[in-house]
């Protein structure tokens, strides 16, 4: 019996994306074609592979087993094709990246745009997100995530990329109203702007190797960095912000640095890459460009990890 391998590949795309709509977007073909191909594939095999509901699709046991068999074959096939494109130095396709706002704007913007100018067959989809990288399997080629704690086990290759230095800031009006703290431990009773209701801020002292941990209550809580920056300028509370992002506000006098002798712990940016035997050329050239950017940093900023 002859099988349409396009239908088999479309089934894998739907199964990995857990959605007909997402698979259609990824493959850039109509959703109706996706549905028809999966139905033809199931009819040809004589078994149901997917359980459909209003929230999406999920695999039944037969679908799980078939996906485990087919996915490595298609990944290998695409890998061979991608490797041939590397040899010709003509990477193409869509580079899908998820990144936190500040890292995307401050570090990735120029790298991605330079690649698009250099390689006319390359496209890029960039999502600004702070969601956990483990929830994005199958959706992106590279997922950047800010991490403060140890990494959890996952089906990703993790590479340390760059530390984002932070500083404690407040508006002059806030300091006039509240006064100036003399030690980080005082912040536990201050109105703070944080990413979660109850956050743990860590500081190191210029005068010792001691790490100071301060539990704070976020009076205003948001994962959006621009929200925290704006709210800090408006005097809502005191906040730990990424140093590069608040430089303009410091120069204009909208913000002042607080407790400069105590440095907030930097957040490490990791690049998470789905485990593959062969890396697509679009990902390879992107990581190479990112590494070159890191190597060109000034001595004052060059805190790049050597295993990038």
pLDDT bracket for residue 297 (50, 70, 90): very low
**Mind spelling out the 3-state secondary structure of the chain?**
CCCCHHHHHHHHHHHHHCCHHHHHHHHCCCHHHHHHHHHHHHHHHCCCCEEEECCEEEECHHHHHHHHHHHHHHHHHHHHHHHHHHHHCCCCEEEEEEECHHHHHHHHHHHHHHHHHHCCCEEEEEEECCCCHHHHCCCCCEEEEEECCCCCCCCEEEEEEEEECEEEEECHHHHHHHCCCCCHHHHHHCCEEECCCEEEEEEEECCCCCEEEEEEEEEEECCCHHHHHHHHHCCCCEEEEEHHHHHHHHHHCCCEECCCCEEECCEEEEEEEECCCCCCHHHHHHHHHHHHHHHCCCCCCCCCCCCC
Which stretch of 85-89, 181-185, 212-216, 281-285 has the lowest confidence by average pLDDT?
A: 85-89
- pLDDT for 254: 97
Whole-number pLDDT of residue 85 = 59
Mean pLDDT value across the chain: 82
pTM above 0.95, yes or no: no
Per-residue pLDDT, averaged over 205-210, amounts to 78
Q: Among the listed ranges 8-17, 86-95, 99-108, which one has the minimum average pLDDT value?
A: 86-95
Q: What angle do CA 180, 184, 189 make, to 5 degrees?
A: 75
Handedness of CA 165, 155, 50, 5 (dihedral sign): positive
**Which residue do the tokens 């490595």 mark?**
72
Which tens digit of pLDDT belongs to each residue from 230-255? 999 999 999 999 888 899 999 999 99
Band of pLDDT at residue 150, cut at 50, 70 and 90: low
Walk me through the domains of the chain, giving residue ranges and CATH numbers: 5-86 (1.10.10.10), 92-163+268-295 (3.40.190.10), 166-265 (3.40.190.290)
Size of the chain in residues: 308
**More confident call, 67 vs 181:** 181
Predicted confidence (pLDDT) at residue 306 exceeds the cutoff of 70: no
Give the whole-angstrom CA distance, residue 239 versus residue 192.
6
Range with the poorest average pLDDT among 65-69, 145-149, 201-205: 145-149
CB 95 within 8 A of CB 112: yes
Q: Is the pLDDT of residue 149 over 50?
A: yes
* pLDDT in the model for residue 178: 95
């Amino acid at each position: 019996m002859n099988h349409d391998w396009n239908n088999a590949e479309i089934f894998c795309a739907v199964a990995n994306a857990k959605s007909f709509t997402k698979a259609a977007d990824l493959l850039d073909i109509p959703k109706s074609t996706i549905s028809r191909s999966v139905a033809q594939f199931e009819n040809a095999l004589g078994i149901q592979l997917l359980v459909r509901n209003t929230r999406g699709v999920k695999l039944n046991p037969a679908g799980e087993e078939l996906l485990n068999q087919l996915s490595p074959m298609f990944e290998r096939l695409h890998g061979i094709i991608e490797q041939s494109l590397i040899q010709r130095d003509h990477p193409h396709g869509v580079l899908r990246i998820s990144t936190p706002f500040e890292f995307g704007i401050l570090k990735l913007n120029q790298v991605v745009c330079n690649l698009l100018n250099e390689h006319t067959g390359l496209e890029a989809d960039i999502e600004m997100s702070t969601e956990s990288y483990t929830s994005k399997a199958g959706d992106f080629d590279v997922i950047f995530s800010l991490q403060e704690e140890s990494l959890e086990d996952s089906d990703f290759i993790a590479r340390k990329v760059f530390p984002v230095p932070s500083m404690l800031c407040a508006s002059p009006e806030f300091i006039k109203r509240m006064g100036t703290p003399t030690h980080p431990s005082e912040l536990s009773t201050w109105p703070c702007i944080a990413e979660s209701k109850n956050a743990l801020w860590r500081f190191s002292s210029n005068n010792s190797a001691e790490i100071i941990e301060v539990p704070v209550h976020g009076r205003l809580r948001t994962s959006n960095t621009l929200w925290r920056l704006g709210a800090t300028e408006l005097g809502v509370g005191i906040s730990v912000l990424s140093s590069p992002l608040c430089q303009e506000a410091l120069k204009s006098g909208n913000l002042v640095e607080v407790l400069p002798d105590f440095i907030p712990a930097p957040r490490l940016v990791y690049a998470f890459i789905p485990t593959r035997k062969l890396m697509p050329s679009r990902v390879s050239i992107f990581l190479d460009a990112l590494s070159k950017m890191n190597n060109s940093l000034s001595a004052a900023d060059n805190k790049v990890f050597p295993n990038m």
